[in-house]
């Protein structure tokens, strides 16, 4: 492989691999827990993760930092999405929401090699469902992307419209021309 995805999360890698395959980029996987600073900025978290990943493996890598931001919860869980999923989970999120169900997924993909450090972002707006629907990982069973009726977990084209897809599409354009 010329390029590796560094993450502790195999689901993220599987999706990233499919997406980058479609752009002609062959993506390897290096499973690793990365340094994750506490910050309100996904971008800042991603930069630290990318530098940590490159210093561990000394190969061209990408990492990804994501968050689910719920409007009526002032953007919670946002940068804390991983921790919140492991603690209160999808049921906890559903229970916190009253009327306004608007939310968005954000992805930052950061590339790092010996000389370059570049970030790309992707956003998908949507709403939080009233119950969990479909089999999927993370928040997929409660996130309904705008213009659809199904959750990410129920849809079969998530990888053609997700926050991850949008960030990786920008990355691919840059990577293939760099
Ligand atoms: P890393 O090792 O790559 O950091 P992680 O799972 O901790 O893996 P993040 O720090 O980016 O990844 O945490 C974002 C969390 O948001 C993730 O753990 C999921 O719970 C959730 N998430 C991100 N993208 C998602 C998606 O496409 N579908 C469902 N849940 C998602
Ligand atoms: Na993480």
Ligand that comes closest to the CA of residue 161: 1
- Told to judge if 65 belongs to the known catalytic residues of this protein, a careful annotator would answer yes
pLDDT in tens, 45-74: 999 999 999 999 999 999 999 999 999 999
Give the pLDDT of residue 30. 98
Give the pLDDT of residue 135. 96
Distance of CA 142 from the midpoint of ligand 1 (Å):
14
Q: Does any ligand 1 atom lie closer than 6 A to the CB of residue 164?
A: yes
Give the pLDDT of residue 87. 98
Give the pLDDT of residue 62. 99
d(CA 79, CA 60): 25
CATH number belonging to the domain at 3-177, selected among 2.40.110.10, 3.40.640.10, 3.90.950.10, 3.40.190.10: 3.90.950.10
| Residue (of 143, 132, 131) closest to 107 by Cα position | 143
pTM over 0.95: yes
How large is the ipTM? 0.98
Q: Which atom of ligand 1 is nearest to the CA of 85?
A: 20
Give the pLDDT of residue 46. 98
Q: Give, in order, the Cα–Cα distances in Å from 39 to each of 42, 45, 47.
A: 7, 7, 11
pLDDT in tens, 17-44: 999 999 999 999 999 999 999 999 999 9
Q: Which atom of ligand 1 is nearest to the CA of 137?
A: 29
């Amino acid at each position: 492989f010329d390029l590796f995805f560094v993450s502790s999360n195999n689901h993220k890698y599987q999706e990233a691999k499919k997406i980058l395959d479609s752009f002609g980029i062959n993506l390897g996987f290096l499973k690793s827990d990365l340094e994750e600073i506490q910050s309100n900025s996904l971008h800042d978290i991603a930069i630290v993760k990318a530098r940590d990943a490159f210093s561990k493996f000394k190969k061209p890598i990408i990492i990804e930092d994501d968050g689910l931001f719920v409007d009526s919860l002032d953007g919670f869980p946002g940068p804390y999405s991983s921790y919140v999923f492991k603690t209160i989970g999808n049921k906890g999120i559903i229970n916190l929401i009253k009327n306004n169900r608007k939310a968005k997924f954000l992805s930052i993909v950061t590339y790092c090699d010996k000389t370059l450090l570049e970030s790309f972002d992707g956003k998908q707006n949507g709403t939080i469902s009233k119950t969990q629907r479909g089999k999927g990982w993370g928040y997929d069973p409660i996130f309904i992307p705008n213009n659809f009726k199904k959750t990410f977990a129920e849809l079969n084209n998530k990888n053609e419209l997700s926050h991850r897809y949008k960030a990786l599409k920008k990355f691919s354009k840059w990577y293939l021309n760099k």
